[in-house]
Structure 1
Amino acid sequence: MNDKYPITPYGWVIKQRLTELHLDQKDFCQLHGIPTYRLSNVIHGTRRAERYRRQIAELLGLPPS
């Protein structure tokens, strides 16, 4: 989605957790009502998106970044 922005270390943690859960980003977003662009923002660090950052961390069982 945002190929020109590198994935942050926290973004890799999110991607790894999604892989462990056998979910892709789109399915995860649809399941939890999160806009796909917001997940991408968090993964690439292009916006803080605090509300979604907290929600994603909670849903994936990750520590807040």
Structure 2
Amino acid sequence: MKNKKPITPFGWAIKQRLTELQMDQKSFCELHGIPPSRLSNLIHGTRKAARHRHLVARLLDIHPNEVK
């Protein structure tokens, strides 16, 4: 069994904002054409995915530099 990496602070911000919008990760990805694996990478910090990081932050109105 693979060990999952813990969720990053930015990942928690993504999850919180999606909850506020009453949207799950899959439908968010489908709506905006983001690969689900990239969103998962952002949530768990397994990959930089800078382009998608900026896109997700803009779409969810999250400021990545302000997330602790």
Same fold (TM over 0.5): yes
Q: What is the alpha-carbon distance in structure 1 between the residues aligned to residue 57 and residue 15 of structure 2?
A: 12
Structure 1 alignment gaps of length 5 or more: none
SS of the aligned residue for 1:11 comes to: helix
1:15-56, Cα deviation, whole Å (9 max, x unpaired): 000000000000000000000000000000000000000000
Q: 1:3 to 1:20 in 2, by over 3 A?
A: farther
Deviation, 1:64, is 2.8
RMSD: 1.4
Gaps of 5+ in 2: none
What count of residue pairs does the alignment treat as equivalent? 64
TM-score, structure 2 length as denominator? 0.88
Structure number with greater Rg is: 2
Which residue of structure 1 aligns with residue 9 of structure 2? Answer: 9
TM-score when scaled to structure 1? 0.92
Q: Partners of 1:26 and 1:39 in 2: how far apart?
A: 9
- Structure ranking higher on relative contact order (CA contacts 8 Å, 6+ apart): 2
The aligned residue for residue 55 of structure 1 is: 55
